[in-house]
Amino acid sequence: MTYDLSGRVALVTGAGPNIGRAIAATLAQAGATVWCNDLKPELALSAAKFAGERAMALPFDITDPDQVEKAVDDASKKRGPIDILVNNAGVTVPRGLLTISVEQWRLVTRTIQEGAFLCSRAVVKRLIDARKPGAIVNIASTTGHRGRKNAIAYATAKGGILNFTRALAVECAPHKIRVNSVSPTKTGASVGAVESAAARSFDEIPLGRLGQPQDHANAVLFLVSDQASFITGIDLRVDGGTLATWGTRSQTDPTAGS
């Protein structure tokens, strides 16, 4: 199936390495103009270069309301209203309740939740003013569906993204703006490069491998395309079957279900 995003304008937050970069490149290859965001200008530029001639860097802090409004306004004036938003930016601090600091908690939850809120508000406001339909995809996580040790802030933030998606989908439906989420499993290096991809275990993934950035980029491409025009408020799990299981022991272990 061929997806045609010609004439569409996309903003991908956290478009540095891994999932965000693949999403930006995939949308650009399908014909969209793509703004590649990252807090670090060099990562935004690298993502835009990787995505090709239809992509441009747009570095700004997604947790700063003034920066968000200015960036989205500037981008809209240059290339037209953003009608595809991928809230992908995220950060994690691998600590539990008693070891994470208040500052670390706020860093994680603000980046993931507040960033998605601010960017969505800026984009939706301009789409409504322009009376133009659109599509938003929030990048959630399998961790948002279940508890996980030493991930108290990340699990909380990603769990919130799942319900943010549903609430926003209902609110935006009258304006023909669709909102969905994608839940990746372990993919490449972990968020914030806490460990290398080679060191990551995938015993709990029934399909027997780590996710690849392109797996999630393909899901995002489908959800923002016209082929998904009657889909809103759902979470598409791109997790190799991870959430189909109840445990985290190896799926090849004959005693795993005992």
Q: Which helix (H) or strand (E) holds 34?
A: strand 33-36
DSSP string, 153-196: HHHHHHHHHHHHHHHHHHHHGGGTEEEEEEEE-SBSSPTTSSS-
What is the Cα–Cα distance from 258 to 256, expressed in whole angstroms?
6
Cα 209 to Cα 3, 26, 42, 155, 218, distances in angstroms: 27, 22, 31, 22, 17
Compute CA distances 202 → 142, 172, 212, 250, 257, whole Å: 13, 37, 12, 8, 17
**Can you tell me which residue has the tokens 């290339």?**
79
Nearest to 9 by CA among 44, 47, 58: 58
Beta bridge partners of 197: none
Residues 6 or more apart whose Cβ sits within 8 Å of residue 7: 31
- Torsion angle of C-alpha atoms 15, 20, 26, 32, degrees rounded to 10: -40
Residues with Cβ within 8 Å of residue 44, at least 6 apart in sequence: 15, 16, 36, 37, 38, 57, 58, 59
Q: Which of 154, 205, 220, 251 is catalytic?
A: 154
Verify whether residue 154 is a known catalytic residue: yes
Give catalytic residues, as residue numbers.
154
